[in-house]
Structure 1
Amino acid sequence: MNKPLTPAPQRAEPALTAHRPTREEAEAAVRTLLLWAGDDPAREGLVDTPARVARAYEEFFSGYREDPVELLARSFEETEGYDEMVVLRDIRLESHCEHHMVPIIGRAHVAYLPAGRVVGISKLARVVEAYARRLQIQEKLTSQIANSINDVLQPRGVAVLIEASHQCMTTRGVHKPGVSMITSRMLGAFREDAGLRREFLSLTRGGTPAPEA
């Protein structure tokens, strides 16, 4: 039976205190950046760039218009008593570094141990996307995904692992291509049970867990 959950109290997101500019103001800001970079926003190749950038930003940062709690609030209790690990791995992740506003590209692996209810698997991917499509640091992104699943579904445990490449490191600064960053957040049974953590890590690496000795 498909029933809405009563979500647990959520951590408040930072309030937007500044006035949100109009599209025209956003496009004017892009023209200013083009001038500052040393080019002419009036030339043929750039004349439509401000509008294109504004549209791209709507897509890049669409997560600010998504409510992860709402995405998770509808779950299913007809599970025939299923209480083993649910794992969704290799979720494509596209975010932007909040320090330099350049891409973070990687993948997320999400798992939880149901406590009587499960959620549609597409909702897990959409929660990842809702938080990823904001200005982020990877550590915060990892915690936000895990905390939301834990607070709303109230499972026995949650595990989130993110592997990503940061263009603020690969295309500028130290210029170190091929470097990836790994972060994880383990809650409930995944934090308490080392064997469970090993099973999750084995599954996300594409293997099957070895039997316990």
Structure 2
Amino acid sequence: MSAVDRDRIAAAVAEILAAIGEDPARPGLETTPARVAEAYAEFFSGIGRDAADDLGDPVPLEDGLTAETVLLRDIEFRSVCEHHLLPFIGTAHVAYLPGDTVVGLGRIPRMIETLASRPQVQERLTEQIADTLVAATAARGVLVVLDASHACVTTRGARQSGSTTVTVAARGAYTEPAARAELITLIGRGVA
């Protein structure tokens, strides 16, 4: 796991404040560099961590049980876009078709948090969530849908405050159009 160098971040933030014409020592800004350093330590806490560890050990299905789709909807996440170091905030929907094992439902949001807590682009984050779940569980199918609002779109440039970006990653059985469509319907309907 890499450690965030808070002192270096604080010094860099003070330099940025000076570069935009501000006085980093003025009241109101004097503690900003340290606060930004603390925020960055949180935002980027996933660097160097293996997200598969968050899934724990898969639990074998009990005798006679066969698991159909497991779908977790509306998992909130936040990340930082690697292009502008601005946040993107959204909702993840994750479905998987278990093989012989399942994972604890609370572990999937933890895995997403780890992957999101590093400089990211939404497209890669979507793929990483799907690939991590497949690798850690040997799932027969995985579908990940992310819907996020990007500050680089909502607050600068085009300034489209109501826009969101949707990305999808499918693996295994969920690459088949009918299975994928059924899950997209369940995600959108909000009722399984």
Q: Distance in 2 between matches of 1:182 and 1:87?
A: 17
Partner of 1:11: none
Question: 2:53, 2:22 → 1: CA distance?
Answer: 44
Give the 5 Å matches for 1:58-137.
58-79=41-62, 80-137=64-121
RMSD: 1.7
Task: Provide the secondary structure at the position in 2 that maps to 1:64.
Answer: coil
Query: Could you list the runs of 5+ residues in structure 2 that have no partner in the other structure?
Result: none
CA distance in 1 between partners of 2:28 and 2:96 (Å)? 49
Pairing partner for 1:149 from 133, 158, 182:
133
8 Å Cα contact 2:49/2:114 also seen in 1: yes
Aligned length: 190
Distance 2:5 2:174 in 1: 45
1:46 pairs with 2:29: yes
TM-score (norm 1): 0.84
The superposition leaves residues 16-45 of structure 1 with CA deviations (integer Å, 9 ceiling, x where unpaired) of 8xxx77432221111001111221111111
Whole-Å Cα distance in 2 between the matches of residues 173 and 26 of structure 1? Answer: 26
Contact 2:6/2:38, CA 8 A, preserved across alignment: no
Q: Give the AA of the match of 1:176.
A: Q
The separation in 1 between residues aligned to 2:91 and 2:191, in whole angstroms, is 19
- Which letter does structure 2 place at the counterpart of 1:204? I
Mapped to 2, the partners of 1:168 and 1:21 lie a distance apart of 24
Identity rate, percent: 44
Counterpart contact for 1:202–1:208, Cα < 8 Å: no
- TM, length-normalised to structure 2: 0.93
